Amino acid sequence: MMLDDVESLVCQRLGVKSVPPMIGRLIREKSEGHPFFAEELAYALRESGILIIEDQVCKVHPRFLNFEDLTLPDTLQAAITNRIDGLDPSQQLTLKVASVIGRIFSFRVLEAVHPIEADRQALPDYMETLTRLSLTLVESEAPDLAYIFKHVVTQEVAYNLMLYSQRRQLHQAVAEWIEESNERNLESYYPLLAHHWTQAAEAHDAARNEHAIRKAVEYLEKAADQAMQNYSNKEAIQFFNTALEWDAKLSEPEDKVALRYLRFRRARWHGRLGLAYYGLGLLPDCNQHVREALRILGNPIPTSNIQFALGLLPQIIRQVLHRYFPARYIGSVHDEEREIELEVSRLYELMSRIYFYSNETLPIIYIVLQFLNSAETAGTSPELAAAYSSMGVLAGFAQLHKLAETYVDRGLAVAEEVNQPSNLITIGVVTSAYKIMVGKWTEVREKVEEAKAICEQLGDYRQWGDCTAMLGENALISGDIQYSTKIQDELLVDARRRRNPLHQCWGLLGIARNNIRLGDPASAVSMLEEALQILEETPNLASSIETNSQLALAYLRIGNDEKALAYTHKTLELSANISPTVYSMNLGFAALADTCFGFWEKALHTQPVTDSEQYKKLAEKAIKPIRAFQGIFPIGQPVTPYYQGWYEWLTGKHEAALKSWHKGLKAAQKFNMPYEEGLLRLKLGSHGDDESRKNNFERAIQIFKSMGTVRELKLAFSEAERAGFKDLA
């Protein structure tokens, strides 16, 4: 605030036309332009008798004409403290009691919890004085009379002037009044009750305050669950973490049943924390809490691949028994045992997502089998629907597509039977992950758009990001770049607003890969570099591979060979000897191969030929993950022959190259993948020797035009003209 305006504000608050110049200067200098501090200094001067106000005229009391004798508070807090100290004891206590209730406080609550019963009749007069002194203001009139502290600092100062013991007693009194007065609508007050009981529990000796601690834990849990239901992840994390802190201060019961319940409750809290962190895109934190929950429940996750491998056999045997003796094993537990199995199932579901993104095949197999076995033991439930769907994806990885379809159908059937909206979202996403594997693009879009709409109705932005990212990737792989760009833009805007790092990474990567295809690699670079920064804090192998590979391709396209080569080596390092688990990874593998083959082909056409052998080796390495992808995902069938044919052509095996490209073309048509079809037709048009060359060029040009892929379209025109088809160019 401008210093000249400070004096005008002071005059307005004191109700005078002007203040003595020296007083104005003192207030301006001391407050340094802070308007509320200036107000409090002016009030303090008035209430201490230094300023006399009569008929809108402000004067200094004759006793204080020597301004050098005046001492003003150095801080806002000190100014407020001086004003409170100037109140009579009853008014001071009233203000302090109000500060415990909250910045906004009902007169009814103030009257009920005021510790001196004899003063309660005088409370209206006390509040009138406090309001006249501008320490409080009327928030709402009678019959629901309520007040508000004029500034939150005033509330804080009044609160801090009390002894800890006095605060605790008042917080407990407020909490008990809320419980008694709102018995029928107590859920609306869970966060407030959690606050007051937590403050009431503050004591050096926890044993002496166990009742308040138990109450605090009770309402912290209820407030946290309420926040989870409202998808308020940050609030839920705060409540659950505080509950864990207070719960640790309680002594464990000797009764085994009670002890088992408490341990289950702690495990449940860790599981909910994992889900909340997942909703915020913080996978490392999610991983930590899910592991801790499973440890508490006696199901620790293996820490090495050897342990995962050894643990597989018992889970396979268990699943075989479920298949052959369903009446004996499926739905075999009830009551508390069933609740534990369902909780374990939820935890395994979260872990399966974490391993899915980190591209760890053996842990995925182990976790999904554990997930399925636990969920089947508990019987029909949302968890069982998710387990069947996850097993469908796992069976698809193993190329057992009939089995995969069976599990997918089971998952959908159970989800419809349970008919829980959030579960319908999960099943829609998980089953669509399998359907993308086999190229059912239209089914995926319909199912996931339906799931996304449910997310928006519920406010479930944990799963909304999953749906939106899947829609964008499904559209890009199936050749609809315009829809993909629109949906990825939507994802990024929302992720930035919600500060979800995982979704931000997906949005940045999605837009960047689209821009590269649309002929704008320069704009992709900054987005991909931002995505890499996010991945440093939120590691995700699948996204790291693709981000690095797309950066390599973008730098190659803008002519920065040095950086392109650096990111190429990084991507090769990340993707060495992996077994792909994410359907979109081939977008990254293809970008890597485009970069490596681009370097190799450029070297072969440079005179004299230099470094071609080096780039040939890079191309050979780049083909390996593409082949691995095809071994798991049928939609890789058009991609592998494209690069295999390119490799064969550059090594002089022209007939083999043409054969590979024809094979890839059939697969591209089978899976309705127009971008890959256009690339394959461009190769066949450029290098073929039959009558179909012109047709291949025509179809490639048509595809690239409709998709808006500028670079590929220019290349198709150029190659058609070079081949003698000038009418096409």
The residue among 229, 214, 373 whose CA lies nearest residue 299 is 373
Query: Where do runs of H (alpha helix) occur along 161-232?
Result: 164-181, 190-201, 210-229
Residue 54: count other Cβ atoms within 10 Å of its Cβ: 8
pLDDT at 64 over 60: yes
The model's pTM: 0.82
| Strand partners of residue 137 | 148
**pLDDT higher than threshold 90 for residue 704:** yes
Q: What is the mean predicted confidence (pLDDT) over 286-307?
A: 95
> What is the pLDDT confidence band of residue 464, given thresholds at 50, 70 and 90?
very high
Q: Is the pLDDT of residue 157 over 70?
A: yes
Cα 358–chain centre separation: 16
Mean pLDDT of all residues in 44-48: 78
Q: Please give the share of the chain, as a percent, with pLDDT higher than 70.
A: 96
Is residue 399 domain-resident? no
- The mean pLDDT of 342-357, rounded to a whole number, is 94
667 occurs within a structural domain: yes
Mean pLDDT of 650-655: 95
pLDDT band at 8 (very low <50, low <70, confident <90, very high): confident
Residue 538, domain member (yes or no): no
Q: Which range, of 32-46, 173-187, 288-302, 531-545, averages the lowest pLDDT? A: 32-46
For residue 356, the Cα-to-chain-centroid distance in whole angstroms is 17
Whether the per-residue pLDDT at 318 is higher than 70: the answer is yes
pLDDT digits (tens, 9 = 90+) for 257-281: 899 999 999 999 999 999 999 989 8
| Percent of the chain topping pLDDT 90 | 75
User: Mean pLDDT across the stretch 658-674?
Assistant: 97
Does residue 44 form part of some domain? yes
Mean pLDDT of 63-86: 72
In a domain, 90, yes or no: no
Query: For residue 430, is it within any domain?
Result: no
Task: Tell which of 56, 83, 110 closes a domain.
Answer: 83
Distance, CA of 56 to CA of 260 (rounded, Å)? 72
SS3 51: strand
Q: In DSSP terms, which residues pair with 51 in a beta bridge?
A: 60
Stretch 695-724: mean pLDDT: 94
pLDDT digits (tens, 9 = 90+) for 324-333: 999 999 999 9
What is the rounded average pLDDT of the residues 81-101? 92
What is the DSSP code (8-state) at residue 652? T
Supply the pLDDT for residue 252.
86
Structural domain including 686 reads: 637-722
pLDDT range class, residue 86, cuts 50, 70, 90: confident
Please compute the mean of the pLDDT values over residues 362-388 and round it to a whole number: 96
Q: What average pLDDT does range 496-525 have in this prediction?
A: 95
Convert the pLDDT of each residue in 553-604 to its tens digit.
Answer: 999 999 999 999 999 999 999 998 888 989 999 999 999 999 999 999 999 8
What radius of gyration do the chain's Cα atoms show?
A: 35
Number of domains composing the chain: 2
Report the distance separating Cα 632 and Cα 580, nearest Å: 7
Per-residue CA distances from 352 to 364, 399, 418 (Å) = 6, 19, 22
pLDDT of 66 strictly over 70:
no
Model confidence band, residue 2 (pLDDT cutoffs 50, 70, 90): low
Q: What is the DSSP string of 322-337?
A: HHH-HHHHTT---HHH
Give 142 or 18, the one with higher predicted confidence. Answer: 142
User: 478-503 pLDDT, tens per residue?
Assistant: 999 999 999 999 999 999 999 899 99
Among residues 83, 101, 127, the one where a domain terminates is: 83
Residue found by looking up tokens 């009691």 in the block: 97
Average pLDDT rounded to a whole number, residues 118-144: 93
Residue 544 — very low, low, confident or very high, per pLDDT cuts 50/70/90? very high
The answer to whether position 594 is within a domain reads: no
How high is the mean pLDDT of the chain?
Answer: 91
Task: Assess whether pLDDT exceeds 70 at residue 438.
Answer: yes
Residue 686 confidence class, pLDDT cut points 50, 70, 90: very high
DSSP 686-721: HH--STTHHHHHHHHHHHHHHHT-HHHHHHHHHHHH
Which of 55, 83, 111 is the endpoint of a domain? Answer: 83
In a domain? residue 77: yes
| Eight-class DSSP state of 206 | G
Alpha carbon distance 315, 373 (integer Å) = 7
Note the pLDDT of residue 267: 97
Residue with tokens 């440079």: 606
State residue 205's pLDDT score.
64
